[in-house]
């Protein structure tokens, strides 16, 4: 039976194609904000890191009341590292708005999320966004989307997709790119007409599959999912069927439905709606909450496995405890196990041969977002170089994750870009001209993508635009692309002095400025030559009783290089660590003592 007064629709797109801004405009068009209400841009990107990075990290649910129809909208991340969020929330939807930039067209992440949406049989509505952008080519982009859907084996029904042209920034949607309409009504009408109403059994036994887990410090875990059949009542006795097949009985304490930007508590929620429930204490992704007497079990939610791992350890730095409140190994383990409960796309286990925890995720950005969250919570810890997860091919060979990378670069720098990818194990699979730019496609090992963006931007004078996403596991491609330059390593525990740094900056690039606490084994710069060197950052000028001709000469220091978490993780080698504190990101050697490092190198 169709619930004609409900539509469940996900918004999918490549990063920065305008999903979250589009949601802002839909909320405004449906009257979710008062006329005099001050509304921030990208209102759904409520997480601090989402606002700072300008990307969506966590999927969000909102609801728009349009006439008699309630439209549940699921905003999803656009970056490939957060694909686990996309894969599971698509299970709640019957249709998807595929937002594509009118200039850039379909990009790598468009392919990734579209493949999952088509496999689930969702009705696709193509929204060509940014039609007001200079150089926009909306008709060509629609053709490119059609070609992509054919390539991804879309059904004939899915290929007959409706198209809406829009400018989310200017708040309008149109049936034709130049028809002059200046509101969002065409898009809302298209959703109601083209996205199918949820097919469900309102009078059947209760069946809710949990797709997202929220957490509240007041009520604990909150399971969010789509109610496939029945009516869920507050206080109802239900059966929970876990992913591993175990079962137990519990009582639903609270039921919520989504309304505009928040949740509202209700006494009962009907089939077809997206709801949230409190009472399943260990709610997990894929769990079924169903009728005790007539249980229903749906297919488990499968999420692609992580491809990269890193080991979190308690900090062993001489400066430990100066900046962070939480430094113990036990607290670090508890925090990571709590993360494992709600983050289905991460795999967190005790690290073999180590006091730390091994955290496996989709990529360096995925892992660094967790680190950034923890350092803001007051944690102090250290992490090693990210390692790709190697698999066996069953015949004694090794398989490693291979990424598909696309690069748009001015034609004059295309040769430089190809050279950079070649040194990182990349293999070019396609190349064509697009206006004044050259579009390049590569297959490259995940190992090769670490630090690649920085090298590419340096080689192309900041002109290249690169995206990459996991493609498949392929044959191991051997060793390549190690760092050629040596490092400057602090000799002892001292504050850095401008006089010493002035001498050192002539021999390479510095990572610290004057007056910074340093310790033996801390990396303070990069040498211009190969081979590490131990340096004294606290050396001061020896003073005699005669006035020197250069005594009053001002010291001029080049600003030190500061690393973001992702850059630090991509920079270090296997014998080095990144020390993460609420205030600092430091690089250090795993063995702090120069004598210990020499012994290790000999052995």
Query: pLDDT tens digits for 217-252?
Result: 677 778 889 999 999 999 999 999 987 788 999 999
Same domain as 396, residue 518: no
Q: Residue 193's pLDDT is what?
A: 95
Same domain as 501, residue 582: yes
How many other CB atoms sit within 10 Å of the CB of residue 14? 27
Same domain as 29, residue 118: yes
Task: Give the pLDDT means over successive 10-residue stretches in the chain (603 positions).
Answer: 89 76 80 45 44 51 89 74 66 92 82 84 94 91 93 92 93 90 92 93 90 76 89 93 87 90 88 92 84 87 81 93 89 89 79 85 86 92 92 87 89 93 91 85 91 86 84 86 86 92 92 94 93 91 64 76 90 93 94 92 81
Total domains in the chain come to 4
259 part of a folded domain: yes
CATH number at residue 224: 2.40.30.10
Residue partners of 50: CB distance under 8 A and separation at least 6: 42, 56, 57, 58
Q: Residue 428's pLDDT is what?
A: 94
* Strand spans (E) along 15-171: 60-66, 69-75, 95-101, 123-129, 163-167
70 assigned to a ligand binding site = no
275 part of a folded domain: yes
Q: Residue 40's pLDDT is what?
A: 42
310 part of a folded domain: no
316 assigned to a ligand binding site = no
Long-range own/partner contacts, residues 320-326 (CB < 8 A, 24 or more apart): 320/380, 321/380, 322/517, 322/581, 323/380, 323/581, 323/582, 323/583, 323/584, 324/375, 324/378, 324/379, 324/380, 324/581, 324/582, 325/378, 325/582, 326/377, 326/378, 326/379, 326/380
CB of 227 closer than 8 Å to CB of 206: yes
Q: Report residue 288 as tokens.
A: 């079924």
Same domain as 284, residue 219: yes
20 assigned to a ligand binding site = yes
Q: Say how far apart CA 465 and CA 479 lie, in whole Å.
A: 26
118 part of a folded domain: yes
CB of 108 closer than 8 Å to CB of 95: no
Tell which residue, 288, 182, 180, 282, has the closest CA to residue 232: 288
Same domain as 433, residue 519: no
Q: 3-class DSSP state for residue 207?
A: strand
Examine the fold and report which residue of 170, 194, 218 is the final residue of a domain before the chain moves on: 194
21 assigned to a ligand binding site = yes
Tell which residue, 26, 19, 414, has the closest CA to residue 188: 26
Same domain as 154, residue 282: no
Same domain as 230, residue 137: no
Q: Say how far apart CA 578 and CA 282 lie, in whole Å.
A: 34
Tell which residue, 64, 51, 54, has the closest CA to residue 7: 64
Examine the fold and report which residue of 265, 290, 315 is the final residue of a domain before the chain moves on: 290
344 part of a folded domain: no
CA-CA distances (angstroms) from residue 226 to 286, 319, 552?
11, 49, 73
343 assigned to a ligand binding site = no
Same domain as 225, residue 183: no
Q: Say how far apart CA 100 and CA 14 lie, in whole Å.
A: 7
Q: Say how far apart CA 238 and CA 248 lie, in whole Å.
A: 9
Q: How far is CA 6 from the centre of its chain?
A: 30
Q: 3-class DSSP state for residue 77?
A: coil
Q: What DSSP letter does each residue of 343-369 carry, written as one string?
A: -TT-EEEEPTTSSSEEEEESSHHHHHH
Q: What DSSP letter does each residue of 160-186 carry, written as one string?
A: S--EEEEETTTTEEESSTTS---SSHH
Same domain as 254, residue 178: no
105 part of a folded domain: yes
Residue whose token pair is 């670090």? 332
116 part of a folded domain: yes
293 assigned to a ligand binding site = no
Q: How far is CA 387 from the centre of its chain?
A: 18
Dihedral sign for Cα 285, 291, 292, 294, please.
Answer: negative
Tell which residue, 170, 73, 94, has the closest CA to residue 129: 170
358 part of a folded domain: no
Note down the domain range covering 168: 6-194
Q: Report residue 201 as tokens.
A: 């059994």
At residue 445's C-alpha, the angle toward residues 409 and 390, to 5°, is 160
Q: Residue 79's pLDDT is what?
A: 54
Q: Report residue 432 as tokens.
A: 């064509």
Q: Residue 74's pLDDT is what?
A: 85
Tell which residue, 94, 78, 87, 83, has the closest CA to residue 3: 94
Q: How far is CA 292 from the centre of its chain?
A: 38
Residue whose token pair is 């992702």? 566
Q: Residue 217's pLDDT is what?
A: 67
Same domain as 254, residue 110: no
CB of 581 closer than 8 Å to CB of 324: yes
CB of 82 closer than 8 Å to CB of 362: yes
Q: Say how far apart CA 233 and CA 253 lie, in whole Å.
A: 9
Same domain as 447, residue 499: no
Q: Report residue 373 as tokens.
A: 């969250």
Tell which residue, 360, 278, 345, 442, has the closest CA to residue 76: 345
Q: Say how far apart CA 187 and CA 426 lie, in whole Å.
A: 41
Tell which residue, 38, 40, 72, 44, has the closest CA to residue 57: 44
Same domain as 76, residue 174: yes
CATH number at residue 398: 3.30.70.240
Examine the fold and report which residue of 239, 269, 290 is the final residue of a domain before the chain moves on: 290
Q: Which helix (H) or strand (E) holds 331?
A: helix 329-342
Residue partners of 385: CB distance under 8 A and separation at least 6: 310, 569, 572, 573, 574, 576
């Amino acid at each position: 039976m169709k619930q004609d007064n409900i539509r469940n629709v996900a918004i999918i797109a490549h990063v920065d194609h305008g999903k979250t801004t589009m949601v802002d405009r839909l909320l405004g068009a449906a009257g979710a904000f008062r006329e005099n209400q001050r509304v921030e841009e990208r209102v759904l990107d409520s997480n601090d890191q989402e606002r700072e990075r300008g990307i969506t990290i966590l999927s969000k649910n909102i609801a728009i009341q349009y006439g008699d129809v309630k439209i549940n909208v699921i905003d999803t991340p656009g970056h490939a590292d957060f694909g686990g969020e996309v894969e599971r929330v698509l299970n709640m939807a019957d249709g998807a708005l595929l937002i594509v930039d009118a200039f850039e067209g379909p990009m790598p992440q468009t392919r990734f999320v579209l493949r999952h949406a088509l496999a689930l049989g969702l009705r696709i509505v193509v929204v060509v966004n940014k039609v007001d952008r200079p150089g926009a080519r909306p008709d060509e982009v629609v053709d490119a989307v059609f070609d992509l859907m054919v390539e991804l084996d879309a059904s004939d029904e899915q290929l007959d997709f409706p198209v809406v042209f829009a400018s989310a920034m200017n708040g309008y949607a149109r049936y034709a790119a130049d028809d002059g309409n200046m509101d969002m009504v065409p898009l809302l009408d298209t959703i109601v007409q083209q996205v199918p109403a949820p097919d469900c059994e309102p009078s059947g036994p209760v069946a809710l599959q949990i797709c997202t887990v929220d957490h509240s410090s007041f009520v604990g875990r909150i399971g969010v999912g789509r109610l496939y059949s029945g009516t869920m009542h507050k206080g109802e006795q239900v059966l929970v069927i876990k992913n591993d097949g175990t079962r137990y009985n519990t009582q639903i304490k609270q039921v919520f439905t989504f309304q505009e930007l928040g949740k509202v508590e209700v006494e009962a929620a009907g089939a077809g709606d997206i709801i949230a429930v409190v009472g399943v204490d260990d709610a997990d992704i894929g769990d079924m909450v169903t009728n005790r007497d007539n249980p229903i079990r749906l297919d488990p939610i499968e999420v692609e496995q992580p491809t990269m791992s890193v080991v979190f350890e308690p900090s062993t730095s001489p400066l430990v405890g100066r900046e962070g409140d939480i430094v113990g190994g036990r607290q670090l383990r508890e925090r990571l196990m709590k993360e494992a409960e709600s983050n289905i796309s991460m795999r967190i286990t005790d690290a073999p041969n180590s006091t730390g925890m091994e955290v496996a995720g989709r990529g360096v950005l995925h892992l660094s977002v967790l680190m950034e969250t923890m350092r803001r919570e007051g944690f102090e810890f250290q992490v090693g170089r990210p390692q790709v997860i190697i698999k066996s091919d069953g015949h004694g060979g090794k398989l490693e994750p291979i990424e598909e990378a696309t690069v748009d670069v001015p034609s004059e720098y295309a040769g430089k870009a190809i050279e950079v990818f070649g040194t990182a194990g990349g293999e070019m699979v396609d190349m064509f001209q697009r206006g004044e730019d050259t579009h390049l496609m590569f297959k490259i090992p995940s190992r090769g993508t670490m630090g690649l963006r920085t090298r590419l931007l340096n080689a192309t004078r900041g002109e290249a635009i690169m995206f990459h996403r996991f493609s498949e596991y392929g044959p191991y491609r051997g060793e390549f692309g190690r760092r050629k330059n040596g490092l400057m390593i602090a000799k002892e525990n001292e504050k850095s002095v401008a006089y010493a740094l002035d001498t050192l900056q002539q021999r390479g690039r510095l990572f610290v400025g004057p007056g910074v606490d340093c310790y033996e084994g801390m990396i303070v710069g990069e040498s211009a030559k190969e081979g590490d060197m131990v340096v004294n950052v606290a050396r001061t000028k020896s003073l005699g009783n005669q006035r020197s001709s250069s005594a009053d000469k001002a010291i001029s220091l080049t600003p030190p290089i500061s690393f973001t978490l992702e850059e630090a993780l991509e920079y270090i080698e296997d014998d080095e660590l990144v020390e993460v504190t609420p205030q600092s990101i430091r690089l250090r050697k795993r063995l702090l003592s120069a004598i210990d490092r020499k012994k290790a190198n000999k052995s």
